Structure 1
């Protein structure tokens, strides 16, 4: 990454002028300028006043695809990096908002376990509870299932990907420099455009399937173009629950497969596959943990959502030739207990790490 000469404060001022000008004079940053702007924010070479002004101005004007790609370049440069071992199946990388879930019961930890049981690696990333939602996070949910994933060195996470087919990159442990921007989310009361990177970035290098959540159609089209510029080869975008990657079962699922920059819209109907129910509301961690274990034992109120999500993602990942075959494989993993066995294996791995 090429950084221009001059003090960080002065260089950042040039970027701020572009995004903070009026309606008729505001300009988008180039990919290189956006990369440098985020680098200066993360390295705290820009002042707090400059950073706050940039984040809110950028939110009001809305980021352009090349700006998101430039910021993604900086995340890839400064952030943690994971790699699959030779011959390993490319992972599914779920990209969802870091500020968690507050309204609907999360499915993705259980989807992960079904995928692992059927030989499909998974990479997740997230943080601690943070503004603006302060919702339940991946770290919280796996902890409720008896798997402690915080406080691990990145080398241990890398080893877990190669031995278990699973990795969760935890921002406070593995990308601490990005934690510096969390206070701005609290003080501004809004997600800044930088939060869009949570839906576009994976620490995994090499071949993978990137699953990106979205809420609004313009966000999806920007993601398509930003990821095309970033040379992400295989992408699926999902209008998931709370902007994440969990597929709803109470409505049609709006998704798109993006291969080589070309998007194919796919509308999936859980009603057509005997999975239609109201999406379960979030209550509290203990209740969710009980419901999660019931689902892994092929019963309870999360079962239909789990079968649907696991089946669809097996199909998207190429593990099943059709959606129907994916649903059948997911059902077999739940009926046969292999998904629960995958949880027990992660629990044993986590316990062994704690005893070191």
Structure 2
């Protein structure tokens, strides 16, 4: 006698057949089906062959907003949750998990400047990751003496409360998602999970979502996906290597989507503010981290100018400063006066204290 209830493998096979049946006959999953597929992948209820096939088929067909919304539903259900720390929104930056390979990041400095100005920031990511295997955010913080990778989820929240900076480290706080990382190398392409990560957030309170993107269709996809999940407010940044770091070598393109769905498009010209120039190349990790520490010490360099350009914009965008010029002046002063360096020391101490306690 056959079974009345299909196994998880059989259930996943039916979902795989929908997305992987070819250019003319493949179909988008419903939101509920996408959530079920993501849940079975996270829980390893699908076989490795099925997971790999799903990820590459989904990349070829390109995910629909409803599918990404469903996959986010599953991540929200199975992933980590950080309880609200205050009524004030936490700014959550969505940066590609596979890191940076060509240009030097200044996101850590931006986070420190914002936190020192009273804007709490939450970041998330993992280790070096396919397909780029670029420098990950956690490695940058480690180079600054901040041990985010060793914190439990409760300790992440404690540090976020005390310092205004938090980091959710995938292998520790969301190991189910970390188990899917090797598939990226095996299929040789970024799967839709790489898009999903840009708008995923472990924070349960009010957030200000800021995400980087490279290709214009991705921006629209992210906007619609978050709107489906009841969180239409979003800032999109066409940044360096898909990050939220504005380039100095070209105009910055920023989209600001408000809660009512209306959108402003900002084009920011660094040369108009005396901050244009070549983007600092990414050196070997030990050299780069020394350069980043020099930025925090207020020493002049191309990377310091990039930090002022980015820090000033985000100080204005997050409501700390009334205009861009004030934002740039404040970012420069905070670096020269050691405010950002002091915040970095506070975060490093809070991590050590959380671990010790």
TM-score range, shorter chain: over 0.9
- State the 1:220 CA deviation: 0.8
Question: What is the aligned partner in structure 1 of residue 267 from structure 2?
Answer: 267
User: In the alignment, which residue of structure 2 is the partner of 1:323?
Assistant: 324
**SS at 2:302's partner residue?**
coil
- Is the Cα contact below 8 Å between 1:238 and 1:255 reproduced in 2? yes
Pick which of 314-323 and 59-68 moved more. 314-323
Residue matched to 2:18: 18
Q: Please show how residues 125-164 of structure 1 align to structure 2 within 5 Å.
A: 125-164=124-163
Q: Deviations over 1:96-129 (max 9, x none)?
A: 1111111110110111111111111110000011
Mapped to 2, the partners of 1:270 and 1:185 lie a distance apart of 35
Question: What is the Cα deviation at residue 294 of structure 1?
Answer: 1.7
Which residue does the alignment assign to 2:81? 81
Aligned residues of 2:127 and 2:138 also touching (Cα < 8 A):
yes
Equivalent in the alignment of 2:47: 47
CA distance in 1, matches of 2:225, 2:170: 22
How far apart are residue 38 of structure 1 and its match? 0.6
Contact 1:114 1:333 in 2 (8 A): yes
| Structure-2 residue corresponding to 1:179 | 178
**2: distance between equivalents of 1:158 and 1:203?**
11
CA distances 1:295-331 after superposition (whole Å, capped 9, x unpaired): 1122222111101111111122122222222222212
RMSD of aligned alpha carbons: 1.4
CA displacement at 1:229 relative to structure 2: 0.8
8 A Cα contact 2:245 2:310, kept in partner:
yes
Mapping 1:104-253, distance limit 5 Å: 104-253=103-252
Q: Deviations over 1:269-304 (max 9, x none)?
A: 111111101111111111111211221122222111
Question: 2:97 maps to what in 1?
Answer: 98
8 A Cα contact 1:12 1:46, kept in partner: yes
TM-score, normalising length: structure 2? 0.95
Deviations 1:147-200 (A, max 9, x none): 111121110001111111111000000000011211111111111111111111
Instruction: Report the 3-state secondary structure (helix = DSSP H, G, I; strand = E; otherwise coil) of the residue aligned with 2:134.
Output: coil
Cα distance between partner residues in 2 of 1:44 and 1:25: 27
Give the Cα–Cα distance (whole angstroms) in 2 for the partners of residues 330 and 125 of structure 1: 23
Distance 1:33 1:286 in 2: 45
Work out whether residues 315 and 321 of structure 2, in 8 Å CA contact, stay in contact via their aligned partners in 1: yes
CA distance in 2, matches of 1:109, 1:152: 18
1:257 partner SS: strand
**Cα distance in structure 1, aligned partners of 2:188 and 2:75:** 23
Distance, in Å, in 2 between the alignment partners of 1:22 and 1:144 is 46
For 1:288 and 1:272, locate their aligned partners in 2 and report how far apart those are by CA, in whole Å: 28
1:337 aligns with 2:342: no
Cα separation, partners in 2 of 1:233 and 1:321, compared to 1, 3 Å: farther
Whether the aligned pair in 1 keeps the contact of 2:158 and 2:354 (CA below 8 Å) is no
Q: Is the 8 A contact 2:162 2:350 kept in 1?
A: no
Partner of 2:301: 300
8 A Cα contact 2:234 2:257, kept in partner: yes
Q: How many residues align?
A: 351
TM, length-normalised to structure 1: 0.95
Aligned partner of 2:350 in structure 1 is: 349
Residue 277 of structure 1 is matched in structure 2 by: 277
Alpha-carbon distance change, 201 to 43 in structure 1, aligned in 2, over 3 angstroms = same
Q: Give distance in 2, aligned partners of 1:313 and 1:342.
A: 17
1:69 is matched with 69
Aligned to 1:60: 60
Any unmatched runs of 5+ in structure 1?
A: none
Unmatched runs of 5 consecutive residues or more in structure 2: none
